Structure 1
């Protein structure tokens, strides 16, 4: 009797694969190769690269910025770096939780809720990085620390939300390799971006530029890349009809603003023309 009840309980409580595919967020099954070459995944890769770039390059030099620009002691700089790590952790937890909150209580589409969070993280970085040169020139250490903490939260939030964003867009089938591939943008920014930043910074210092201005020139380049990432995020489609229709289509408030037909469409049009141009054989009388 107990075994029968246990079996019945499992049959009711255990969801099947078919039940996991809901009508609210349908996901088109794609192979790994198909998924990573979709426009949405490519745009997500660029967006994520822009979101993480400031964090992997500039935040790694936070201690040096505190001592070289603001003339703070090594102990103070070390304390700032330690506290900054807390904001990194809080950003990872808070932003991913907020996106879940938007889904549960505001009934947002899951993928769109993740996208909204990236609008916030990138938008916050644009505002803060845009104001950072003024803060550095005025040597306002308090405002500098506040801005760095905000940037670190945005950096951590982007890193913590990307697994959910990829899953909502493409499903769980290839989530492992797809998440790994998109994280290569983080490594690319750290290695290539870090080397480029250091070479440019050292070159400007060798030319006689002040430490603050050398940082500002490099930060302005990052600012442009973050702005590009914000624009590219707009092109990531969370609308199901737009994503699954052949070609590239983008709708805003139910109105289609971008419509690019698939390349195969032209070939399909030529086939009927070729058939009509072919000579017709006389019909055999019966």
Structure 2
């Protein structure tokens, strides 16, 4: 095997690996590509807004109300945490491939089931398919590459997990225009567009998941610290944390709070981005819709950029930047009367929002080890649910009928700025020794 820096070194085969995952050491870059394929497929869930508008359109046979059209997506987001929690624990014990395959199959089946909804009386099909099945499958599949790739790339864990979750961010950007074309072809039956999309997600996700496997015992990478503990837990400096041990440390709660605050800050704008662009910066409805699509690119790019930056500047300084920049931009954005200023501030917020998701997986791995990363980080994603609910609720309540964007974003911005102090008191815990 080559001794080029960054090249995987020969290693004995893990006796703990499931039979289906045994064999020679594969190319870790192929596994990275597989992880990105899976994330692209499941990240398409964020294209729901395209379908939501179609389901409410007068020409749609379903003709849902605004509240009804939001229910399937809200259920899906709620189920994600259930999937990441269960999937993370199973992955740590059984390996990544089986969890990822089950996840992408359930996710795709939920999308395919949704394609059979035709009338308003069949909203339950969308809730069961897109909401329950796809949301749960998404959570199962989402956590797998995040935990697995840290074991394959100990030399660049931040960048690599950033690339993986960046795929999730870009999934909706790719899916939205494709879905829009399918919807224009059959506006009376918008759910029919889920059939070809579900098949595409299934093929893409299965192809990616089939590459998944954990590194063999003793796997090392030239130029990086030995990662024996990642597969065996045998580290002379202390072993990796179990999930229960991580939950007994204050650091787990501090990291979860940091992620929850980042999500709250970013999604407070994301949830009302179109209306804010129209009413604050004077965008037309069409211009605001186009802007929202473009801003999705910054969400995806931020996951990669901040993750890579955190490898260089350190994890806690990166989170100070993520929270402080979001806070300042939120406070300024209600006063951005010029379109260019609004775009710059919104792009920074989206970039930092994505950056929180891109940086936290490798941070958790650095703090608690990667042997049980699936379960530890999977449970930490409760921050996604907390922030995803709190941000929009606080924002819409404060904006109110009088459209007080200044009050809403100033409050959220101030919370984010105060939260930027948390990384200063967050230190890596000592590893367990017994």
TM bin (shorter chain): 0.5 to 0.7
In structure 1, how many angstroms separate the alpha carbons of the residues matched to 2:243 and 2:427? Answer: 19
1:93 is matched with which residue? Answer: 304
**Secondary structure, aligned partner of 1:58:** helix
8 A Cα contact 2:333 2:346, kept in partner: no
Q: Measured at CA, do residues 99 and 245 of structure 1 come closer, stay the same or move farther in structure 2, by a change above 3 Å?
A: closer
* Residue 405 (structure 2) pairs with residue 215 (structure 1): yes
1:179 is matched with which residue?
A: 377
Alpha-carbon spacing, 1:171–1:234, altered in 2? closer, same or farther (3 Å): same
Deviations along 1:178-215, one digit per CA (max 9) or x if unpaired, are: 2222221121122233223323322xx2xxx4x2xx11
Please say if residues 330 and 413 of structure 2, whose CA atoms lie closer than 8 Å, have aligned partners that are also in contact. yes
Change (3 A) 1:80 1:167: same
Once residues 343 and 357 of structure 2 are traced to their aligned partners in structure 1, the CA distance between those partners, rounded to angstroms, is 21
| TM norm structure 1 | 0.66
Structure possessing the higher relative contact order (Cα contacts under 8 Å, 6 or more residues apart): 1
Of residues 276, 281, 284 in structure 2, which corresponds to 1:65? 276
Matched, 1:123 2:324: yes
Change (3 A) 1:152 1:40: same
Q: Partners in 1 of 2:11 and 2:349 — Cα distance?
A: 46
Name 2:356's counterpart in structure 1.
158
Over the aligned positions, Cα root-mean-square deviation in angstroms equals: 2.9
- Equivalence for 2:430: 244
Compared CA separation, residues 133 and 10, structure 1 to 2 (3 A): closer
Contact 2:329 2:349 in 1 (8 A): yes
Q: In structure 1, what is the Cα distance between the partners aligned to 2:318 and 2:368?
A: 18
Deviations 1:129-186 (A, max 9, x none): 2323432xxx222111100001111111111111111001101132112222222112
Output the CA distance in 2 between the equivalents of 1:143 and 1:120: 20
Unmatched tracts of structure 2, length 5 or more: 1-9, 14-24, 26-215, 221-225, 230-234
CA 27–142 in structure 1, closer or farther in 2 if over 3 Å, else same: farther
Match of 1:16 in 2: 218
| Pair 1:78 & 2:285 matched | no
Q: Count the aligned residue pairs.
A: 213
Instruction: Report the equivalent of 2:20.
Output: none
Secondary structure of the 1:173 match is coil
**What is the aligned counterpart of 1:32 among 243, 248, 255?**
243
Q: Deviations over 1:15-51 (max 9, x none)?
A: 61794258x9955433312212311111111111111
Q: In 1, distance between residues paired with 2:407 and 2:306?
A: 30
* 2:263–2:384 contact (8 Å) kept in structure 1: yes
- Please tell me whether residue 145 in structure 1 is matched to residue 343 in structure 2: yes
Q: Any idea what SS the aligned residue of 2:329 has?
A: helix
CA distance in 2, matches of 1:227, 1:143: 21
Question: Runs of 5+ in structure 1 lacking a partner?
Answer: 1-8, 103-107, 247-286
Change in 2 beyond 3 A, CA 1:11/1:182: closer
> Do the aligned partners of residues 66 and 171 (structure 1) sit closer, same or farther apart at CA in structure 2, a change above 3 Å counting?
same
Answer whether contact 2:259 2:356 (CA < 8 A) is retained: yes
- Given that 2:278 and 2:284 are in contact with CA atoms closer than 8 Å, whether structure 1 keeps it comes out as yes
